[in-house]
Chains A and B, each alone.
Chain A
């Protein structure tokens, strides 16, 4: 079947119904008219929405909209990053009357969301990630994302105070810039407590591989790591395995403290509720939605889990002080003098990169003190 003549089932139904008077009257106009007063917002997740991780963070943001007057939400989970997501978007638009859609996974953007942007110019699409570009992409598309590196820095501060072996562990999915920044931030946070601390990283190669994540956690603890954090889609397995071995945990994406209340120190969480409310407020007010939205801890896009019972007094103090400084804005995690773990200079004396710095988005190094390799 060639792309040009490919007709989705829904298009076919629409076309054939158009012939019948009944079809034209009921299928096209009244639905749109009835929905004009209230807006429907669609959310699409790549995994289960209660995964204690990436998808749960988005679903919690979506759930925060449920009380907003005039807004109804539709959600679909476990949608693969294939043509399936296009079908999901079409059905949200045609059947549920969605006028704003949030496809939350990285791989939804190109070509799937872009195809839908062209097909439905009246519908707004906002993709989680940083891929929207004014020169290349349509104006009914857009990107939103958060800077969570400082959250991992704060994780590191608490981990640095808690570790006895001076070895931390990091279970990472893939060596992409955002993951590398999280690993580096975690270690630098810990080194702000004690410069002798090292962090061992293990890459599993995939965003979600339960057994390999468990093996990686065990291997880190076997090598002496006593505080573990991670950057995978669902930290549940890492948290439970580490707690089972008696190690402490710093969380990621969402709050995992119910899984290990005694061993959970704190965690870097997304606060998508804030972002989604912002979009929806604009939608209700009839204002144009921003195309490019970003923010970090100070902007409320990211938050920290409440400190757990194992966090000591000194850790608590430094955590609060660092957090207060970050909230003022302009805090830099990556600042000179700083070397990569291969010895290359990544920041010279006096050089500092704030979280919005464009250089950080092409990070391809692990800083000195991280044991691991990007390839």
Chain B
């Protein structure tokens, strides 16, 4: 193996590489949750969907030998979880947060149950595009090995941002999310819109899970997720329900997560627990700095049960 001594350049490079590698599950889960929350529902169950997506993607990839079929399976499984959530929540007096927590535990447990036989075998990985091929430094090549899902996620963020503003479907989702009464007056059925929005959100979370098991870290174990599904739900609020904001916040979390290991690798070894806490401290600071007691959060959908 060839190596080049890159010294302190390792830190920004690791953060760039880390942002690209680690952020993808955050991107997909938070975009999915943004769609769901824009329609006026919260689905806290995406952590369970993520883990189940990771398991089903890995299992199908092992059985068929195709990571793309695995990805499809994860999306379909996520869709089912999302539709299930949306269907239960259409009944009167059902609390969407409670159902979300129940589905989170259900999804994780079900994934562990079905996932047992797939811990040992190896599945094919999703392909990556070597954007670093121009460089002859192996570290740069490794950092710029970008998975296709990251690119799809980036494109999706831009598309959603545009679609929420400029398309009829985007308008429908926003109306239902801001005022169910106005939506009914327009002849829309809020429950149907929310059902579909939660379904799509679930499918995206499933894809996020597929990235975990099929690319980075790239294996199925019962501890594959370290709470990415939950963090991503928080990211949506952090990003003020804006898809571009979700993308940026996901990158920030990915890069900040790479900071701790990278600093230790160049010899900054004191206080690494503090570096590991960096993304969370940053979130707290931004949340406090931008909140106000006299108004609700800017951009919050009016029908959301946490803002009502």
Contacts and interface: CB of A to CB of B under 8 A. Distances in A.
B1 A215 contact: no
Nearest to B270: A373
B266 to A, nearest CB: 7
Interface residues of B, number: 47
B261 A215 contact: yes
A215 B3 CA distance: 18
B10 A165 contact: no
A44 B223 CA distance: 17
Interface stretch (B14-22, B186-194, B288-296): B14-22
Nearest to B228: A211
Interface stretch (B70-78, B88-96, B176-184, B271-279): B271-279
B216 A211 contact: yes
A28 interface: no
A71 B17 CA distance: 52
Contacts of A218: 14, 17-18, 21, 142, 261
Interface string B92-119: 0000000000000000000010001001
Interface stretch (A62-70, A176-184, A186-194, A196-204): A196-204
Interface in B255-271: 257-258, 260-262, 264-267, 269-271
A208 B260 CA distance: 16
B226 interface: yes
Nearest to A202: B264
B257 A210 contact: no
Interface of A: 47-48, 50-52, 78, 164-165, 200-205, 208-216, 218-224, 226, 234, 236-237, 240-241, 244-247, 259, 371-373, 375
B298 interface: no
Given A211-B216, A219-B10, A223-B10, A203 B258 contact: no
B265 A200 contact: yes
Given A202-B264, A218-B14, A223-B10, A237 B219 contact: yes
B14 A219 contact: yes
Nearest to B14: A219
Given A48-B221, A236-B221, 13 more contacts: A48-B119, A202-B261, A212-B260, A219-B14, A222-B10, A222-B143, A222-B262, A223-B10, A226-B3, A234-B221, A237-B217, A240-B218, A241-B218
Contacts of A371: 267, 269
B14 A246 contact: no
B5 A224 contact: yes
